Structure 1
Amino acid sequence: MQMINTDKAPKAIGPYSQAIKYENLIFISGQIAIDPKTQGLIEGDIKKQTERIMENIKAILEEAGLSLNHVIKTTIYLKNINDFPALNEVYGKYFTEHKPARATIEVSNLPKGALVEIEAIAGL
């Protein structure tokens, strides 16, 4: 087992790693729209927050020597399920030909008041 951390993604806001490599899998912790430069939640709507999250996931994967094409599954936690179409609009720009399995769940709240959180599993 190996921890994966990069300065190009936000530091963990609790006792966890950005990602863990276990055998041929990379488990990326749930990402909210934190700017890695300021460590603060970005302001903006669901589209802006989704874009920041996808860039953070991409940076973690790059640190592991992988790309978004290696993502097997994502789980998305939405504060408001009505944001689903706008989320898909941005998410779809990152997963064009390769489309991982996915679950999307509405939740009552997220850390720091985020609108969305995304976790991912990638394979080598």
Structure 2
Amino acid sequence: MEKQVINPWTWQEERNYVQAVEVRNVESTLYVSGQTAISDDGISSDRDMRSQLLHTIRNLEKVIREAGYELNHIVRLNIYTTSASELFENFGIVQEWLTDNGIRQASTVLEVKSLFETLKVELEATAVK
């Protein structure tokens, strides 16, 4: 697999995403459903944004690794949240995770009216190998 980042500007670097990712010679692609802070028993978290972000990231990592992919092969990460202001107050968690795992992805952040039950954030990813 060959991956090329396209960034016509430099300002997005401090926001931990890229404008586009081109991938060539792909062996396979993994489309991950939106992951949230739901326990192994299927119980939705009612905790704060920080806690839900950490739990959601763990769940996303579990699905990607279970499928035999590496985190740094994430090429797209969409973030859905019921509160953009709460998300951005805690966004350092996401930025640190992206940096620590060498993830350089195209991203979209969307504020939505609601998510399932008591959930505040959902991460949807595409990974390649």
Q: Is the 8 A contact 1:31 1:56 kept in 2?
A: yes
Normalising by structure 1, what TM-score? Answer: 0.75
After superposing on structure 2, the runs of 4+ consecutive aligned residues of structure 1 that deviate more than 3 Å are none
Percent same amino acid at aligned positions?
27
- In the alignment, the residues of structure 1 paired with residue 33 and residue 112 of structure 2 have an alpha-carbon distance, to the nearest angstrom, of 17
Which runs of 5 or more structure 1 residues have no equivalent in the other structure?
1-22
Does 2:65 match 1:33?
Answer: no
Which runs of 5 or more structure 2 residues have no equivalent in the other structure?
1-26
Whichever of the two has the greater Rg, that structure is 2
CA RMSD, Structure 1 to Structure 2 (Å): 1.7
Structure showing greater relative contact order (alpha-carbon pairs closer than 8 Å, 6 or more residues apart): 2
Number of equivalent positions: 102
- In the alignment, the residues of structure 1 paired with residue 28 and residue 127 of structure 2 have an alpha-carbon distance, to the nearest angstrom, of 8
Normalising by structure 2, what TM-score? Answer: 0.72
Look up the equivalent residue of 1:27 and give its one-letter code.
Y
- In the alignment, the residues of structure 2 paired with residue 50 and residue 87 of structure 1 have an alpha-carbon distance, to the nearest angstrom, of 8
Q: 1:22-101 counterparts in 2 under 5 A? A: 24-36=28-40, 38-96=41-99, 97-101=102-106
